[in-house]
């Protein structure tokens, strides 16, 4: 961060690895019609057949997955007029820095509840926020319709009450003139609500609203809490009210948004008294700060990555600083029969379906990057070691870290088991900064270690039944989700959705590549893995087919094409014959200069005579 802060301003072409930043590879819009939990949970990694291996791994790690950290108390008293360095238990700041922070907070020091550093993930998000200009790739949005103004007002009132409950929702991020970025918890933070009118003659109101406030061209001030903003508009044609809400990813991951949704529901149903006491995000910051040491993280990732000296780039795509522009998407359902077979084989091996899918993706990535030793980012749930009650804490816990899978002559069964073990070990290091992991590899900065990200996630609310379903219907009566999107700063992002019984694939890639094509590769590959596990578990991973039959047939057509070529002694004779055929054809092109075959031949002859 010392390097980051020396750059004023941070430019679009600056590389955040060079500048010392950390990274979150993944943007998730939280207001989707379907609800997905991001990242791997403990249950993703272990079923009954592998609980014993978890215990063994925990013992090997000493403290294991539940390493306890004593969280120092918050020492800032209520109504404090002057905050001193001794009151900050999670960070050391000078009095001058504290005073600068207080001067930027509405209400000054009396409105400051706590000050502490950013979690590693938040540092990466802040870096991308600083680097962006036109919009903000980490600005999440959700658009919802309401049948009445009263229902909209009730929803916004419930949201404000949830903001009042949770520290992270009253948090601002400050970095200017500070030794390192800080998150500052306000005691009071009011959601800004702006009513905006649109002309029905100019088109659909919802589309106009969505276009006006798109994160591709809008930003919010992250130094002012809450890091949310609401825009409301009346749609006179459809007789409804529209809410377009921004939430910055600095304060929420998907689980946090699920918690927020449940609490809003409780307020709408008049059940707020049943809500549990909120837990502060500072506990997680302390867990990261005082938990697994940087040295442990570094030792693990050096062992994993030190001999990796070039990036894994699908289709040669290396730009990992995207802002969500020029992305195309595809969705693909895995048929029920194949889904059942995947789960049967995972249970037989004592691994999770997530582990099997990681190997499947590694095989496809191998094919589209021309490498037998691949590295890609996997999205981790981040709450396994987030401290007591982490599963109920609002905030950003998820993380993206590298997975390395070698596609050797080992059989598919061994590959799946080895990957299962590797993912478990990575989860122990789930709060490592991506920047640190990258530096443990042999890939020289500023080249990224990988340029694709893989996310195995659950859709928990897909199968709500009985009273739970009735509560959701009652609470959100008259409301309807209209729009949401997922974006990533990586050129390729693959999400495997675990639907309880079945699976589906959500895929995003830059528009130069067909997303449907990659979905087909994944379908073919997982089918090949299942068949191998059923019939020939020792079959080498490299031999699993990736190409669908349509592409295979096309290759056969290409292979069947014949052409005769003249026999030449060397490349120079081929070139001379090309000069005779197309003397004025363009042979070389560089920037704004070109050279014909005749000109190049003359230059070559001159050089030959000189030599």
DSSP codes joined into one string, 292-358: S-HHHHHHHHHHHHTT--S-B-GGG-------S-SEEEEEEEEPHHHHHHHHHHHHHHTS-HHHHHH
CB 227 within 8 A of CB 260: no
CA distance linking residue 555 with residue 126, whole number of Å: 46
Q: In what order do the strands lie in the sheet with 139-146?
A: 193-195, 228-235, 240-248, 139-146, 479-483
pLDDT of residue 344: 97
DSSP codes joined into one string, 172-196? EEE-TTSSS-EEEEES--PPPEEE-
Compute the residue count for the chain.
Answer: 611
pLDDT of residue 566: 67
DSSP codes joined into one string, 531-581? HHHHH-TTSBGGGS--S-HHHHHHHHHHHT--------SSHHHHHHHHHHH
CB 486 within 8 A of CB 527: no
Mean pLDDT, each 10-residue run in order, the chain (611 residues): 38 37 28 37 42 41 55 94 96 96 97 94 84 84 96 97 97 95 97 97 96 92 97 97 95 88 95 93 89 91 96 92 78 96 96 96 97 94 62 84 92 96 92 90 92 86 68 89 77 93 94 95 97 96 92 79 70 88 92 93 93 93
Widest distance between CA atoms in the chain: 93
CA distance linking residue 190 with residue 480, whole number of Å: 25
Reference 297, options 143, 144, 401, 448; nearest CA is: 401
Q: List residues bridging with 312 in a β-sheet.
A: 450
Give the burial string for 536-575 (b: 16+ CB within 10 Å, else e): ebebbbeebebbeeeeeeeeeeeeeeeeeeeeeeeeeeee
Among positive and negative, which fits the CA dihedral 267, 273, 274, 279? positive
pLDDT of residue 291: 82
pTM score over 0.85:
no
């Amino acid at each position: 961060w010392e390097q980051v802060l020396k750059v004023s301003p941070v430019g679009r072409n600056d590389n955040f690895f060079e500048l010392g930043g950390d990274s979150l590879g993944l943007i998730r819009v939280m207001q989707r019609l379907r609800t997905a939990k991001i990242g791997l949970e403990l249950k993703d990694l272990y079923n009954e057949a592998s609980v014993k291996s978890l215990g063994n791994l925990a013992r090997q790690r000493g403290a294991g997955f539940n390493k306890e950290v004593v969280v120092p108390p918050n020492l800032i008293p209520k109504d404090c007029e002057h905050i001193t360095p001794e009151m900050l238990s999670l960070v050391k700041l000078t009095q001058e820095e504290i005073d600068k922070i207080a001067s930027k907070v509405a209400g000054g020091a009396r409105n400051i509840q706590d000050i502490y550093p950013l979690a590693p993930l938040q540092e990466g998000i802040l870096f991308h926020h600083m680097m962006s200009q036109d919009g903000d790739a980490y600005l999440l949005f959700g658009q919802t319709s309401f049948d009445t103004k009263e229902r909209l007002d009730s929803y916004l009132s419930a949201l404000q009450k949830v903001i009042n409950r949770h520290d992270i929702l009253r948090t601002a991020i400050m970095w200017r003139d500070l030794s390192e970025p800080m998150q500052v918890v306000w005691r009071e933070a009011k959601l800004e609500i702006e009513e905006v009118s649109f002309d029905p003659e100019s088109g659909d109101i919802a589309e106009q609203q969505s276009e006006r406030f798109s994160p591709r061209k809008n930003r919010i001030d992250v130094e002012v809490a809450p890091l949310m903003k609401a825009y409301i508009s009346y749609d006179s044609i459809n007789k409804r009210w529209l809410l377009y809400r921004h939430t910055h990813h600095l304060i929420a991951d998907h689980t946090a948004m699920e918690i927020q949704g449940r609490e809003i529901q409780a307020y709408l149903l008049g059940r707020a008294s049943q809500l549990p006491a909120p837990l502060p995000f500072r506990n997680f910051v302390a867990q990261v700060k005082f938990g697994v040491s940087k040295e442990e993280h570094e030792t693990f990732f050096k062992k994993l990555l030190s001999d990796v000296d070039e990036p894994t780039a699908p289709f040669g795509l290396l730009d990992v600083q995207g802002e969500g522009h020029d992305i195309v998407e595809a969705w693909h359902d895995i048929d029920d029969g194949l889904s059942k077979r995947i789960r049967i084989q995972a249970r037989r091996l004592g691994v999770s379906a997530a582990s099997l899918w990681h190997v499947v993706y590694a095989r496809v990535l191998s094919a589209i990057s021309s490498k037998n030793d691949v590295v890609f980012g996997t999205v981790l749930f981040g709450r396994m070691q987030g401290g007591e009650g982490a599963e109920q804490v609002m905030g950003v816990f998820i993380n993206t870290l590298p997975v390395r899978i070698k596609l050797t002559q080992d059989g598919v069964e061994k590959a799946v088991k080895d990957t299962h073990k590797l993912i478990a070990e990575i989860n122990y290091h789930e709060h490592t900064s991506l920047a640190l992991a990258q530096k443990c590899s042999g890939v020289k900065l500023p080249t990224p270690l990988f340029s694709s990200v893989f996310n195995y996630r659950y859709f928990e609310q897909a199968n709500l039944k009985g009273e739970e379903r009735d509560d959701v219907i009652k609470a959100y009566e008259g409301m309807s989700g209209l729009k949401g999107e997922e974006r990533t700063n990586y050129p390729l992002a693959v999400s495997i959705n675990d639907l309880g019984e079945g699976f589906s694939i959500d895929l995003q890639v830059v528009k130069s590549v067909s997303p449907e094509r990659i979905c087909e590769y994944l379908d073919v590959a997982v089918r090949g893995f299942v068949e191998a596990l059923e019939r020939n578990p020792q079959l080498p991973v490299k031999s699993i087919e990736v190409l669908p039959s349509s592409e295979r047939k096309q290759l056969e057509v290409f292979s069947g094409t014949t052409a005769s070529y003249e026999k030449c002694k060397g490349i120079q004779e081929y070139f001379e014959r090309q000069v005779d055929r197309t003397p004025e054809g363009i042979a070389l092109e560089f920037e704004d200069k070109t050279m014909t075959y005749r000109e190049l031949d003359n230059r070559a002859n001159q050089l030959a005579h000189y030599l």
